[in-house]
Structure 1
Amino acid sequence: MRWEIKDWDLYKQSKEYVDTVVVPVVPLSLKNKQQLEKHEYLTLLSQELEKQLRGRLFLTPPLVYFFPEKQRLETDMNNWKEILSKHFTYIFFLTGEEVLKESQDVLWSPTIPIENMDQSLKKKVIQDQVAQILNILLQYWNSR
Structure 2
Amino acid sequence: MEVRVQAGPFDIGAEISRFTEGRTDMGAIVTFSGLVRDSAAGDLRHMEIEHYPAMTAPAIEKIAAEAVSRWSLGDAMVIHRHGRLAPGEQIMMVATAAPHRADAFAAAEFLMDYLKSRAPFWKKEVTAEGAAWVAAKDEDEAALTRW
TM-score of the two chains, using structure 2 as the length reference: 0.34
Higher-RCO chain (CA-CA 8 Å, sequence separation at least 6) = 2
Larger CA Rg, structure 1 vs 2? 2
More helix by share: 1
TM-score of the two chains, using structure 1 as the length reference: 0.35
